[in-house]
Amino acid sequence: MIVHVCERALAARCVERAIVATDDARILEAVRAAGFESVLTRADHQSGSDRLAEVAATLTDTDVIVNVQGDEPLIAPRTIERAVEALLADAEASVATTCEPIETIEDVLSPDVVKVIVDERGYALYFSRAPVPFPREAARRYGSLAAALEVEPALLALFRKHTGLYVYRREFLLQYAQWPASALERIEALEQLRSLEHGARIRVVEADEPSIGVDTPADLARVRAIIEGEISGQ
């Protein structure tokens, strides 16, 4: 899975170098055996972005750091490019990330699928594992959100899935890593809330194509089937 992420990251035109940051020697060895670069980090990081910052501190010749999470083997190279372009074009943003439509009721209700709410200017207002925004009247009308989504599938358009990708200004990332985990970050187990709680602007752009974050065995099975289909179709 990590090798697929590396391949897709390096396929993005704006990416000059891909480094797998890990605290597991087995991952380090597997990545290097596949011909990619990996760095062993401390094991006590609170989040992936904190781990990223440890490596970013050594990269003094770059201003922008892309964090592609290791559970995103289907991330589109063009999605990475869009996020980088969005950050570079927005002096107010410290971070850029991506989102995509949610197409199933199961994904709306799943705490493993992170939802994002975006303001009129394209900045993130909040990220949550809960179904947000919550269509109160529809849920009241049908007795529950699940029932409302069954009867009115158009409600799915209210929800956006957050894709596991961040583009940081390096200076901000190093500052981020100096802050302790925030209250909402701990409650939701979502590292991006630390940035929002400190007043940072996160630019959210549309992903180029859908991706599947591998959080469960079912996700893994879906991704394996897709990748095997791509290979057999070549």
Domain presence at residue 20: no
- Give the mean pLDDT of 192-219: 92
Domain presence at residue 22: no
- Give the mean pLDDT of 197-221: 91
Domain presence at residue 4: no
In eight-state DSSP terms, residue 157 is: G
Predicted TM-score of the model (pTM): 0.90
Helical ranges in the chain per DSSP H = 2-10, 25-33, 48-56, 77-88, 105-109, 136-142, 145-151, 170-176, 183-188, 192-197, 217-233
Question: How does pLDDT run across 27-56, given as a tens digit for each residue?
Answer: 999 999 999 999 999 999 999 999 999 999
Instruction: State which residues form the domain around 175.
Output: 63-233
Domain presence at residue 92: yes
Cα 233 to Cα 8, 156, 209, 230, distances in angstroms: 18, 32, 19, 5
Domain presence at residue 39: no
193 pLDDT above the threshold of 80:
yes
CATH of the domain at 140: 3.90.550.10
- Give the mean pLDDT of 174-181: 96
Residue 231 burial (C-beta neighbours within 10 Å; 0-12, 13-18, 19+):
exposed
Average pLDDT taken over every residue of the chain: 94
* Per-residue pLDDT, 85: 97
More confident: 11 or 212:
11
- Give the mean pLDDT of 124-149: 98
Domain presence at residue 159: yes
Domain presence at residue 222: yes
223 pLDDT above the threshold of 90:
no
pLDDT tier for residue 88 given thresholds of 50, 70 and 90: very high
Cα 19 to Cα 3, 4, 22, 40, 138, distances in angstroms: 11, 13, 10, 10, 46
Pair 33, 2: CB distance under 8 Å = no
Task: Report how many domains make up the chain.
Answer: 1
234 pLDDT above the threshold of 80:
no
Question: How does pLDDT run across 102-114, given as a tens digit for each residue?
Answer: 999 999 999 999 9
Domain presence at residue 215: yes
